[in-house]
Amino acid sequence: MTDLTEIKLLTTTPRRPLCSRCARPLPACLCDLVTPVDNRIEVLVLQHPLEAHEAKNSVALLALGLARVRLEIGEHFDAQALSEWLGAGAWLLYPQTSMPPTSPQAVENTKLRLLAEPSAEPCRAGSGAVTRLVALDATWRKSLKMLHLNPLLMALPRLALQDLPPPRYRAMRRARRADQLSTLEAVCTALAQLEQDAARYRPMLEGFERFIARWQARAAR
């Protein structure tokens, strides 16, 4: 009688070896695309589970490159844990969705550049210090759901990008809007504007461009 365990072992495809750093299969390793960046403002990325295993997702590069970044995967987070991750001085990188445009906070959040003050300390925004930038890595529809499922996120002050760079990501994934950026592009643009140091984040964006070019070359084979 044949042992079922033996059949399973014979028919199971061996797993491809993974990079110990980026956890990608060695042929798809991202490490050569990463330039370490010493960001002054901490970053918290809340990634929807559907994005976690998306090969074209940009957050893997972001998490490998930034010195101060935390990545948490989920849709509905434990309120106590989320509160600890946010800490004091957290701002959400997200456009206004329902706040009246004439309210003081909406006016303050309209232009990100006006909120930044160059300093060796965390950048100042309005009356409080931006010590942590929070980004949602999800489709527009899923990100709205994450906001509604997590009242702590909904209550955060928001930052909206201005002077958007040309989006690079549309070459890989469909976007809701023509000017929509990937999470990596949005976070790097926000940090560059807040810290008033675009040069610091240029190598990371260049690495992302090489990532896109590599993906396009593979897709064309």
- For the chain, list the domains and their CATH numbers: 38-219 (3.40.1280)
Q: Whole-angstrom Cα distance, residue 37 to residue 220?
A: 32
pLDDT at 176 over 60: no
Q: Return the pLDDT at 160.
A: 79
| Backbone phi and psi for residue 133, each to the nearest 5 degrees, phi listed first | -100, 125
The confidence band for 165, taking pLDDT boundaries of 50, 70 and 90, is confident
What pLDDT, in 10s, does the model give residues 207-217?
999 999 888 88
Residue of 93, 203, 204, 202 lying closest to 138 (CA atoms): 93
Tell me whether residue 11 is exposed, middle or buried, using C-beta atoms within 10 angstroms of its C-beta: 0 to 12, 13 to 18, 19 or more. Answer: exposed
Average pLDDT rounded to a whole number, residues 159-166: 77
Q: Return the pLDDT at 55.
A: 84
Residue of 214, 195, 213 lying closest to 41 (CA atoms): 195
Q: Return the pLDDT at 4.
A: 45
Average pLDDT rounded to a whole number, residues 118-128: 36
Average pLDDT rounded to a whole number, residues 89-105: 64
Q: Return the pLDDT at 15.
A: 74
Answer positive or negative: Cα dihedral of 29, 137, 92, 146. negative
Average pLDDT value for the chain:
79
Q: What is the pTM of this model?
A: 0.78
48's tokens: 């929807």
Q: Return the pLDDT at 27.
A: 85
Average pLDDT rounded to a whole number, residues 121-137: 67
Q: Return the pLDDT at 124.
A: 39
8's tokens: 């399973």
Average pLDDT rounded to a whole number, residues 194-214: 92
pLDDT at 183 over 80: yes
- What is the residue type of 128? G
The angle at the Cα of 71, spanning 188 to 35, to the nearest 5 degrees, equals 45
The confidence band for 145, taking pLDDT boundaries of 50, 70 and 90, is very high
* Percent of the chain clearing pLDDT 90 (strictly above): 47
- What is the residue type of 80? Q
In angstroms, the first-to-last Cα distance of the chain is 45
